[in-house]
Amino acid sequence: MEFLNTSIGRKMIMAVTGGSMILFTIIHLLGNSSIFVGPSGINSYAEHLHSMPLPIIVAFRAVMLALFVVHVIYGIQLTLENRVGRTSQYALKANRKATFSSENMIWTGSLLFVFIVYHLLHFTFRSTPGLKLVTDASGHFDVFAMVASSFTSFVGAGIYVAFVAVLFLHLYHGIQSFFQTIGQANDSTLPTITTVGRFVALVLFLGFASIPLSILLGIIKG
């Protein structure tokens, strides 16, 4: 298909997959913030999610996996193509608009990849060591206990804060990039889109970071 043969087509796919994952991330944060209500909040939220019919859960996870995989593959492929766009380098190159974030998308992306794999192993498959896995008398899994056990150490919480900091860097460029790539930006909207995009990235960072930090600092208690 020609659309996928050109960089614009593939970038649009990246924009749409990335955009979908941003939406997921926002919903994820909203759901996770139920932890601030206390153990019952997050537990009932998790309970609610897990009580959905299995086919829906499987389908959802499959879609998320597909989005993720496509985004990663095209990201790597396009970056490799771009690397050869310039055969010889400038002795001096002064960037005027590029940011640390825009220049390091492949690296922040790679780190996110590692983190996400860790995160899935950690909280989805619960296969990392040291997790407190408790099921109450009625057979309900205690998500709160598991999360709390992970974030009581500086390392445990630190990993997650670092994780969302990288996410912030990725989205700092990524959100406005989404609109530009799908062609929904112009000279009057792009500055606003950029500012709002960076703000959203910051809110996500603060929101996600507040959970491990709150647990670490004992603001949320079981």
Handedness of CA 163, 122, 59, 110 (dihedral sign): positive
> Site for other proteins (CB under 8 A): which residue of 22, 167, 185, 215?
185
Residue indicated by tokens 């897990």: 50
Provide the 8-state DSSP code for 21: H
Note whether 54 binds other proteins by CB under 8 A: no
Note whether 3 binds other proteins by CB under 8 A: yes
Note whether 183 binds other proteins by CB under 8 A: yes
> Site for other proteins (CB under 8 A): which residue of 50, 59, 82, 195?
82
Residue indicated by tokens 């153990």: 39
Task: Provide the β-strand partners of residue 135.
Answer: 141
Smaller CB separation from other proteins, 86 or 221? 86
Smaller CB separation from other proteins, 90 or 125? 90
Note whether 94 binds other proteins by CB under 8 A: yes
**Could you give the CA distance from residue 57 to residue 211 in angstroms, rounded to a whole number?**
25
Q: Are 193 and 176 in contact (CB under 8 A)?
A: yes
Smaller CB separation from other proteins, 7 or 25? 7
Q: Which residues contact 4 (CB under 8 A, 6 or more apart)?
A: 10, 13
Note whether 138 binds other proteins by CB under 8 A: no
**Could you give the CA distance from residue 219 to residue 204 in angstroms, rounded to a whole number?**
19
Q: Which stretch binds other proteins (CB under 8 A): 18-26, 91-99, 117-125, 142-150?
A: 91-99
**Could you give the CA distance from residue 121 to residue 126 in angstroms, rounded to a whole number?**
6
Smaller CB separation from other proteins, 100 or 154? 100
Note whether 171 binds other proteins by CB under 8 A: no
Provide the 8-state DSSP code for 120: I
**Could you give the CA distance from residue 221 to residue 47 in angstroms, rounded to a whole number?**
20
Q: How many residues make contact with other proteins (CB under 8 A)?
A: 44
Note whether 8 binds other proteins by CB under 8 A: yes
> What would you report as the CA-atom Rg of the chain, rounded to the nearest whole angstrom?
20
> Site for other proteins (CB under 8 A): which residue of 93, 125, 130, 138?
93
| Smallest gap from residue 29 Cβ to other proteins (A) | 25
Note whether 6 binds other proteins by CB under 8 A: yes
Residues that bind other proteins (CB under 8 A): 2-3, 5-9, 11-12, 78, 81-82, 84-99, 102-103, 105, 173, 176-177, 179-187, 190
